[in-house]
C-alpha cells in the first residue's frame, strides 16, 4: 500500500530495556512527525523532521527519547531505559508540506502500541 | 500555548439522529483546523479541514465551519449511521511549527 507504515504493531518490553520503533513514510513526503498517544487521550507531538533534518524536538519527554531520519525517508524512534510511563501508542505521520505550509494534511500510520512491564 | 478543548464524552446516539460535537481552540496566529477520525482497530484518518475563517470543511456528510469570532470548529452531521461509530479528534495546526495540537477525542457510538 501507499500509506504510512509502522513496525512493530505491538511491542512489549521490560522496564529498563531499550526499544526501537520504525516508521516508513509515504514516498516523497518531506515532513515526518512522531506523536505519543496515551490511553484515552489525544496524540501529543514529540518531534518533527523535514527531510533528514530534525527541526523540532521540543515534545520529547526526556533525553531517553531519541529520533533519527538519516536519509530523509525511514525514521526510527528509540527509547532507552524504558519506564512504565512510556507505555502508549506511538504514531508516525508524514506530509508533502514543508514547515510553514499548512494546507497539506498529515497522513498517519496505524501506530505502535508499546507496553512496558 | 496552543490548545484544543472538546466536549466530554462518550456520546451515544440512535441511527439517523443529528450529531454535534463541540470543539473550541486557543492559538497564536491563524491556525488551520482539522477533524480526524479513528475507527475501531484503525489509524487516524483526516475527516475534514478548514484553513481560514468562515471556511466550511465537509466530507462523508460531516461538516464543520471555522468560526474565528467564537474560536470554534464544531462537527455536525444531519443523520448518523452505525458505521460512524468511532473516536473523533479536533486538531489545529499553526504554520510556524507544523505540529498538530489535538483535543482529547470523543467516542461516538451509534446504535441501530
Could you give the CA distance from residue B94 to residue B34 in angstroms, rounded to a whole number? 11
**Residues in chain B within 8 Å Cβ distance of A31:** 98
Interface A:B, Cβ pairs < 8 A: 71
Could you give the CA distance from residue B60 to residue B85 in angstroms, rounded to a whole number? 13
Is the pLDDT at A1 greater than 60, yes or no?
no
Sole residue written with cell 489509524 = B43
| Ranges of H-type helices in chain B | none
In angstroms, the Cα distances linking B53 to B26, B28, B35 are 14, 14, 15
Could you give the CA distance from residue A42 to residue A72 in angstroms, rounded to a whole number? 27
**Residues in chain B within 8 Å Cβ distance of A35:** 100
Residue A25 exposure: Cα atoms within 13 Å on the Cβ side = 28
* pLDDT the model gives residue B7: 87
For the stretch A86-97, pLDDT in tens is 999 999 999 987
Q: State the pLDDT confidence band at A84, using cuts at 50, 70 and 90.
A: very high
For the stretch A40-56, pLDDT in tens is 899 999 999 999 999 99
Residue B68: name the closest of B31, B94, B97 by CA: B31
Please give the DSSP secondary-structure letter assigned to residue B52: S
Q: Do the chains contact at A40 and B104, CB–CB below 8 Å?
A: yes
For the stretch B19-78, pLDDT in tens is 999 999 999 888 999 999 999 888 899 999 999 999 999 999 999 999 999 999 999 999
Sole residue written with cell 516508521 = A23
Q: Which of A4, A103, A106 has its CB closest to that of B51?
A: A103
Q: How far does the CA of residue A109 sit from the closest CA of chain B (Å)?
A: 6
Amino acid at each position: 500500500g501507499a500509506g504510512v507504515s509502522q513496525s512493530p504493531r505491538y511491542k512489549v518490553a521490560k522496564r529498563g530495556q531499550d526499544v526501537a520503533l520504525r516508521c516508513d513514510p509515504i514516498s516523497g513526503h518531506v515532513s515526518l512527525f512522531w506523536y505519543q498517544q496515551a490511553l484515552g487521550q489525544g496524540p501529543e507531538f514529540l518531534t518533527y523532521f523535514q527531510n533528514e533534518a530534525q527541526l523540532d524536538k521540543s515534545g520529547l519527554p526526556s533525553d531517553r527519547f531519541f529520533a533519527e531520519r538519516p536519509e530523509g525517508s525511514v525514521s526510527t524512534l528509540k527509547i532507552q531505559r524504558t519506564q512504565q510511563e512510556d507505555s502508549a501508542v506511538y504514531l508516525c505521520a508524514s506530509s508533502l508540506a514543508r514547515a510553514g505550509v499548512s494546507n497539506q494534511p498529515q497522513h498517519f500510520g496505524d501506530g505502535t502500541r508499546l507496553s512496558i512491564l | 500555548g496552543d490548545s484544543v478543548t472538546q466536549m466530554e464524552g462518550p456520546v451515544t446516539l440512535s441511527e439517523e439522529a443529528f450529531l454535534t460535537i463541540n470543539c473550541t481552540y486557543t492559538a497564536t496566529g491563524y491556525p488551520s483546523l482539522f477533524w480526524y477520525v479513528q475507527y475501531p482497530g484503525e489509524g487516524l484518518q483526516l475527516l475534514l479541514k478548514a484553513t481560514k475563517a468562515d471556511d466550511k470543511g465537509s466530507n462523508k456528510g460531516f461538516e464543520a465551519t471555522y468560526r474565528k469570532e467564537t474560536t470554534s470548529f464544531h462537527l455536525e452531521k444531519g443523520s448518523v449511521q452505525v458505521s460512524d461509530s468511532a473516536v473523533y479528534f479536533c486538531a489545529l495546526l499553526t504554520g510556524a511549527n507544523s505540529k498538530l495540537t489535538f483535543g482529547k477525542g470523543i467516542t461516538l457510538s451509534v446504535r441501530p
